[in-house]
C-alpha cells in the first residue's frame, strides 16, 4: 500500500442520537490534494478527524495505508498517527501557553521520537529547517502568543512538517485571517505539496483559498457526500444550490475557484434609502456629471 493512501467505507458518526457524518465510499490515493468544502455543520471537521483517527465512528472502516484505524489498538493507532501532520482550527489550540516558536515546532519532532528520548542534532536541525521554510527565522525565540494570527498558522504548519508527515490535514487554516494572510498561508501549503508530493486534505469554507494545485474536492452537506471530483465540476450552480440552498455560482481567478452570489445584488432598504435622498447624483453615475456631460 502506497504511503499516504486513505479510504473510507460505510463510515457513520452519530452524536446526540443523530447521524452527523455518513460516507459510503471515499478513496484518496497517495499524493492527492483534496479540498473538503461545504456549509457550516456539513461534517467537514468530523470527516477530517475521522481520517486522522481522532474520532471513532460508530460503523465502517477507515483505512490508512491499508490499516483500519477503527480496529487498531490505541498504541498502534498512535504509532500510525505519527505520519499525519494535523493542523486543527485555531480555536482548538491554546495560544496562551508561554512557548516559543522553536518550542512549539519542536513538539512536532518529539511526537516521532521514542518515548522520553531527547531531541538530537538531526531533530534540532529539522526544527530550524521548517521554521526557516515558513519564513519565521527571525521569530524563532518569540513566544507563540506574541505572533499575529497568520504567523501562528505558519508555526503550526512548521510543527506539522517537522514530523515528516506522509499525510497533511488542515482544518480551516485560513479562517479569521485577512486577505494577505489567507493567500500567504494558501501559497505555503501549495509549495509544500509540490515539494513533498504528500497527501493533503484541506478543509475550507472559502473555496478561493484552495490552491491551484488542489484539483479535486468533495462537497459535503448535512453530513453526506454530495459530490466528489474536479473542483470546477463539483462547484456547479446546481450542486451549490443543493448544499447551500442559495443562488450561488463560481468564478475562476488565477487558478482558484471562488463562490459568489448569483445575479445582481439586491437590497430593498438600501435602494429605498438612496432613492429618497436622490440617487441621481454622481455617487451612482446617473447624473450628467457622472456620465461625463458636466463642465
Residues 6+ positions from 37 with CB-CB distance below 8 Å: 44, 203, 204, 205, 207, 210, 217, 218, 219, 220, 235
Cβ pair 75, 43 in contact under 8 A: no
Residue of higher predicted confidence among 135 and 82? 135
Residue of higher predicted confidence among 57 and 110? 57
pLDDT digits (tens, 9 = 90+) for 124-149: 999 999 999 999 999 999 999 899 98
What percent of the chain stands above pLDDT 70?
82
Domains within the chain, CATH numbers bracketed: 6-241 (3.40.50.300)
Helix (H) or strand (E) holding 160: helix 149-161
Average pLDDT of the residues in 256-281 = 51
Cα 164 to Cα 159: distance, rounded to the nearest angstrom: 10
* pLDDT at site 292: 39
pLDDT digits (tens, 9 = 90+) for 39-55: 888 999 999 999 999 99
* pLDDT at site 266: 42
Residues 6+ positions from 8 with CB-CB distance below 8 Å: 23, 25, 26, 50, 51, 60, 61, 62, 63
Amino acid at each position: 500500500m502506497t504511503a499516504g493512501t486513505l479510504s473510507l467505507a460505510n463510515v457513520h458518526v452519530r452524536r446526540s442520537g443523530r447521524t452527523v457524518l455518513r460516507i459510503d465510499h471515499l478513496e484518496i490515493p497517495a499524493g492527492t490534494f483534496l479540498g473538503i468544502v461545504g456549509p457550516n455543520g456539513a461534517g467537514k471537521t468530523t470527516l477530517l478527524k475521522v481520517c486522522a483517527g481522532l474520532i471513532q465512528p460508530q460503523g465502517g472502516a477507515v483505512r490508512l495505508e491499508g490499516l483500519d484505524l477503527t480496529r487498531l489498538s490505541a498504541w498502534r493507532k498512535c504509532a500510525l498517527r505519527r505520519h499525519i501532520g494535523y493542523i486543527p482550527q485555531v480555536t482548538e489550540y491554546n495560544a496562551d501557553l508561554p512557548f516559543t516558536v522553536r518550542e512549539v515546532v519542536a513538539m512536532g519532532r518529539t511526537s516521532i521520537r521514542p518515548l522520553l528520548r531527547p531531541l538530537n542534532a538531526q531533530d534540532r536541525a529539522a526544527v530550524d529547517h521548517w521554521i526557516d521554510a515558513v519564513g519565521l527565522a527571525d521569530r524563532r525565540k518569540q513566544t507563540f502568543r506574541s505572533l499575529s494570527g497568520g504567523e501562528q498558522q505558519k508555526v503550526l504548519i512548521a510543527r506539522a512538517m517537522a514530523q515528516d508527515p506522509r499525510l497533511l490535514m488542515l482544518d480551516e487554516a485560513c479562517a479569521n485571517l485577512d486577505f494577505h494572510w489567507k493567500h500567504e498561508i494558501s501559497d505555503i501549503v501549495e509549495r509544500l505539496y509540490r515539494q513533498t508530493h504528500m497527501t493533503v486534505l484541506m478543509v475550507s469554507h472559502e473555496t478561493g483559498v484552495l490552491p491551484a494545485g488542489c484539483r479535486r474536492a468533495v462537497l459535503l452537506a448535512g453530513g453526506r457526500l454530495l459530490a466528489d471530483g474536479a473542483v470546477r465540476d463539483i462547484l456547479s450552480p446546481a450542486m451549490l444550490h443543493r448544499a447551500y440552498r442559495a443562488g450561488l455560482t463560481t468564478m475562476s481567478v488565477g487558478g482558484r475557484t471562488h463562490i459568489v452570489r448569483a445575479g445582481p445584488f439586491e437590497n430593498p432598504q438600501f435602494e429605498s434609502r438612496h432613492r429618497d435622498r436622490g440617487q441621481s447624483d454622481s455617487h451612482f453615475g446617473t447624473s450628467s456629471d457622472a456620465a461625463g456631460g458636466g463642465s
